[in-house]
Chains A and B, each alone.
Chain A
């Protein structure tokens, strides 16, 4: 596989940051799902997904974001998405994700967003 999927996890204060790389599709989505589930189980509900290295996302990959968002928001948390490459941004926007999530240009902006607008006020 030329472009394997990888997750680098870090945290800043109570914000967990997932730096995702490569292809997020039906084969790799379960790995991402487990990583997010582990954070929720640990009581961490403020998540940023940094997509700078994400080169492709399929519908199954998009589904991961949806699978948890309600639960996270019910617990006063949020998932914020940042640093999308143009092609992935197009996929997100086509599906209407910009109406469902805060999508920021950079990681610092995403972290700042948790201070400014910690909760989704859709």
Chain B
């Protein structure tokens, strides 16, 4: 409680200082906006009457906006003669006929002077005489410039262009003052019009100033780019988090709903709506435009900065986001929630004071602060609602980006605190300086950096909710004071009303934070921490389970292979199976047949992973059991195919090379079911023969077709000869260039191995294939059975 009293005292003093400093620093206080909605409409009606336009039952819409160019000019050259001819706030009143074909728009200065008007009439096809346009222009000049009209002189002849006639006047008095600005009065009328002359008038001025001089444009552009980048990063996180079910959408949607509700109030009752109509939009266009902004601007920003940031914060610092989350879940009257709100709201004055002190310090020439937002609310039917304009505040966007997303993101991924802080300050400074200053880059950067330091302190001592409340109260305060210092009674009183409302809100938060519902914040934080940890644990456990499954499958595959080759008289046999990274479907085996011969097999199941390995087990089982009853290789194949085709899944098949070896006679009868050819090296003749008897893969075709396809090839081995069965993992082993090892390389290495024993031959092949592939990952098992006839 003592902490809160100290905070309240400090906050109040800062607000007071800000109130004192505001009119001394911010030129908005000198705008002199002295009319209100009712008066603006009355003046516009009188102007219409001067031109005999009956607007009694026409539709009406008002808008007021800051003419940025004039405002910027006045901030630099406000003391030049003629400056007061221009108004930084321009109020537009637009009347539209019920059939929407005619319109009359009047532009008013801050003090209610008519600055110009535009008359919209349907075109008729009759050409306007140049003289007629000149007469109309003179009459308009008299109306707008009043007793100053004689000081304007015609600038050359009226210019007739394609669709308009332009009559230009210049105020000679101001030119004599030999100082910018020049006042220029331009009348444009359509070249084609209805019977009666119906010109459009507008006053304009030309100065040598251009807003492009503003050095802060670049800072704004950089800040906007970073903002866009952050939104994209946040959205990616949000999507990934949604997919892995780490993100619960409820709080995000609640925040969006809250902001959308305020936006709807601001737009529909608070003047923005009328601004769209004045700008020329139809009602439908205005509705669609507003809805599109809500969905394409507000929703992504909230999802990115709050949704994704919240998820990230749970890992490291749930204590920074817990109160906002609680608030969004409806705990408005809980003590810790109100406490954070109070701290942020009450400190808004101190936060605003920072750039104002920099501007008032006198260290920076031209360091003026600008009220960038929309005074549309001042002339709206509900001026009080212009306080809601804070939702469009760039400052709030910046605070949410930096503390909502960037801070937890940096904490999660950058291990060195110095870099984390540096990145945050840099980004924060860019965001905060571009949203408060105009005209002086050093002042803006200093003010932005100091504001960032302050905001970070609030974030560290309190939390994200406090930082957002800080931004909200700062924005509301700025908007209220801009109104308080206008001479217009309605606007001034509304401004004070907003100040009082903000004060009451702060008091309410203070009260709730002391007397509100108890809520064990530590418990809530623990809850969130546990939940995040649990999620992590579940994911880890799932991963471990999968790995365990893989290792079981891999072990099973390894255990299916024979421990050692059979010891056969006269034959030297060696074999190997090198599984690829994934669990594969290769197999080799030596099966004793009932007639004393041996069946040697190398097989490969289509596909990969655990399903292929299971299919391999099935194949091995079939082979062993069929071999109990049959000894002919083609018969064995036919039986296996019959079972696989009937019982297996379509699309899964087994290719297999099978050789029935008679150790006594050294004859081999081999079959090939869709598998790579078998290799026979006739050592004495120095010749290599590929054996490729016909045969379809197992499990592909029904008996009738398969049985016809399968053929047996028989060979007679000589001493020293080599017989090899292998899988496509060897011939399709790939190097980094994408070349395959191929049959030719295999045949070549074997032709160099005539003097080697079976095991040595096997190892040489495996080594050469490994050397060929290098570090390129292989996707297929490598399997090889080598039979050497002893000399």
Whether the Cβ atoms of B709 and A94 lie closer than 8 Å is no
CB distance from A108 to the nearest CB of B (A): 27
Task: Give the CA-CA distance A64 to B650 in the complex, in Å.
Answer: 9
Q: Known contacts A94-B675, A100-B705: does B604 contact A59 (CB below 8 Å)?
A: yes
Which of chain B's residues 574-613 have a Cβ closer than 8 Å to chain A? Answer: 604-608
Q: What B residues does A115 contact at CB under 8 A?
A: none
* Residue in chain B with minimal CB distance to A91: B728
Whether the Cβ atoms of B709 and A96 lie closer than 8 Å is yes
Which of B65-73, B140-148, B564-572, B696-704 participates in binding chain A? Answer: B696-704
Cβ-based interface call for B655 (8 A): yes
Whether the Cβ atoms of B676 and A63 lie closer than 8 Å is no
Whether the Cβ atoms of A122 and B652 lie closer than 8 Å is no
Q: What A residues does B673 contact at CB under 8 A?
A: 96
Cβ-based interface call for B18 (8 A): no
Which residue among B651, B652, B697, B701 has the maximum number of chain A CB atoms within 10 Å of its CB?
Answer: B651
Task: Give the CA-CA distance A100 to B709 in the complex, in Å.
Answer: 10
Cβ-based interface call for A15 (8 A): no
Whether the Cβ atoms of A95 and B700 lie closer than 8 Å is yes
Of the candidates B604, B606, B650, B696, the one whose C-beta lies within 8 Å of that of A96 is B696
B642-657 contact mask (Cβ, 8 Å, vs A): 1 or 0: 0000000011110100
Q: Known contacts A94-B674, A100-B701: does B606 contact A62 (CB below 8 Å)?
A: yes
* Residue in chain B with minimal CB distance to A62: B606
Q: What A residues does B652 contact at CB under 8 A?
A: 63
* Residue in chain B with minimal CB distance to A59: B606
**Interface size of A in residues (CB-CB distance below 8 Å):** 17
Q: What B residues does A99 contact at CB under 8 A?
A: 694, 696, 701, 705, 709
CB distance from A58 to the nearest CB of B (A): 8
Cβ-based interface call for B336 (8 A): no
CB distance from B713 to the nearest CB of A (A): 15
Task: Give the CA-CA distance A26 to B605 in the complex, in Å.
Answer: 13
Which of chain B's residues 676-712 have a Cβ closer than 8 Å to chain A? Answer: 676-677, 694-697, 700-701, 704-705, 709
Q: What A residues does B695 contact at CB under 8 A?
A: 96
Q: What B residues does A64 contact at CB under 8 A?
A: 651
A63-85 contact mask (Cβ, 8 Å, vs B): 1 or 0: 11011101000000000000000
Task: Give the CA-CA distance A117 to B697 in the complex, in Å.
Answer: 24
Cβ-based interface call for A88 (8 A): no
Q: What A residues does B675 contact at CB under 8 A?
A: 94
Task: Give the CA-CA distance A47 to B145 in the complex, in Å.
Answer: 83
Q: What A residues does B650 contact at CB under 8 A?
A: 66-68, 70
Of the candidates B655, B694, B696, the one whose C-beta lies within 8 Å of that of A100 is B696
Of the candidates A68, A70, A96, the one whose C-beta lies within 8 Å of that of B674 is A96
Task: Give the CA-CA distance A4 to B695 in the complex, in Å.
Answer: 32
Task: Give the CA-CA distance A99 to B702 in the complex, in Å.
Answer: 12
Task: Give the CA-CA distance A17 to B311 in the complex, in Å.
Answer: 48
Q: What B residues does A60 contact at CB under 8 A?
A: 606-608
CB distance from B280 to the nearest CB of A (A): 47
Which residue among A60, A63, A67, A96 has the maximum number of chain B CB atoms within 10 Å of its CB?
Answer: A96
Whether the Cβ atoms of B700 and A59 lie closer than 8 Å is no
Task: Give the CA-CA distance A67 to B649 in the complex, in Å.
Answer: 8
Task: Give the CA-CA distance A26 to B651 in the complex, in Å.
Answer: 12
Task: Give the CA-CA distance A95 to B701 in the complex, in Å.
Answer: 11
Q: What B residues does A68 contact at CB under 8 A?
A: 650
Whether the Cβ atoms of B607 and A96 lie closer than 8 Å is no
Task: Give the CA-CA distance A114 to B392 in the complex, in Å.
Answer: 67
Q: What A residues does B655 contact at CB under 8 A?
A: 59, 94-95
Q: What B residues does A95 contact at CB under 8 A?
A: 653, 655, 674, 696-697, 700
Q: What A residues does B700 contact at CB under 8 A?
A: 66, 95-96, 100
CB distance from B31 to the nearest CB of A (A): 61
Which residue among B606, B675, B695 has the maximum number of chain A CB atoms within 10 Å of its CB?
Answer: B606
Whether the Cβ atoms of B651 and A63 lie closer than 8 Å is yes
Q: What A residues does B709 contact at CB under 8 A?
A: 96, 99
Task: Give the CA-CA distance A122 to B709 in the complex, in Å.
Answer: 11
* Residue in chain B with minimal CB distance to A69: B650
Task: Give the CA-CA distance A99 to B696 in the complex, in Å.
Answer: 7
Which of chain A's residues 82-122 have a Cβ closer than 8 Å to chain B? Answer: 94-97, 99-100, 122
Whether the Cβ atoms of B705 and A67 lie closer than 8 Å is no
Task: Give the CA-CA distance A95 to B672 in the complex, in Å.
Answer: 9
Q: Known contacts A26-B608, A94-B674: does B653 contact A59 (CB below 8 Å)?
A: yes
Q: What B residues does A100 contact at CB under 8 A?
A: 696, 700-701, 705
CB distance from A14 to the nearest CB of B (A): 24
CB distance from B522 to the nearest CB of A (A): 49
Whether the Cβ atoms of A96 and B651 lie closer than 8 Å is no
Task: Give the CA-CA distance A99 to B700 in the complex, in Å.
Answer: 11
Q: What A residues does B704 contact at CB under 8 A?
A: 122
CB distance from A74 to the nearest CB of B (A): 12
Q: Known contacts A59-B606, A95-B700, A96-B700: does B653 contact A66 (CB below 8 Å)?
A: yes
Q: What B residues does A66 contact at CB under 8 A?
A: 650-651, 653, 700
Can you show 7 pairs from A to B with CB atoms below 8 A apart?
A: A26-B608, A63-B651, A95-B655, A96-B695, A96-B696, A96-B700, A100-B705
16 other A-B residue contacts (CB within 8 Å) besides A60-B607, A94-B675: A26-B607, A26-B608, A60-B608, A66-B650, A66-B651, A66-B700, A67-B651, A95-B653, A96-B695, A96-B701, A96-B709, A99-B709, A100-B696, A100-B705, A122-B701, A122-B704
Binding site for B on A (CB under 8 A): 26, 59-60, 62-64, 66-68, 70, 94-97, 99-100, 122
What 6 pairs across the A-B complex have the smallest Cβ distances? Answer: A96-B696, A67-B651, A59-B606, A63-B651, A95-B674, A95-B697
